[in-house]
Homo-oligomer: A and B are copies of this chain.
Amino acid sequence: MVNMDASELSGKLAAIASPQRMRIIALLTGETLHVSELARRMEMSRALLYMHLTKLEEAGFVAGHLELSDDGKAMKFFEVLPFTLTVTAKTLVGAVAAHTESEKV
């Protein structure tokens, strides 16, 4: 991931910019939880949580995988993927340049 495209960078930043999603990552840091449990701790509906998790997963911040518990119940666990995102003016210049570059058909 040497040079990030403007839209890609924008996607990542937007995904992480939401306070709710920041909380999700904070909760999942150090501890992997399944969706329902996470929903309880976040005090939000599962439907809404799915929306947030999808965005985080698309941006590459978290990963989910289905697991069978001891008593045979299917549970989807989510974990945070290690990441470091650094943004400077220079980064942005590069991203914008890479973007307009890719538009040259």
Contact = CB atoms under 8 A, between A and B. Distances in A.
A10 to B, nearest CB: 5
Nearest to A18: B10
Query: Which of A25, A97, A99 has the most chain B CB atoms closer than 10 A to its own CB?
Result: A25
Nearest to A84: B88
A89 B29 contact: yes
Contacts of A23: 6, 96
B16 A13 contact: yes
A46 to B, nearest CB: 21
A32 B89 CA distance: 14
Contact of A89 (B7, B18, B25, B88): B25
Interface string A44-86: 0000000000000000000000000000000000001011111
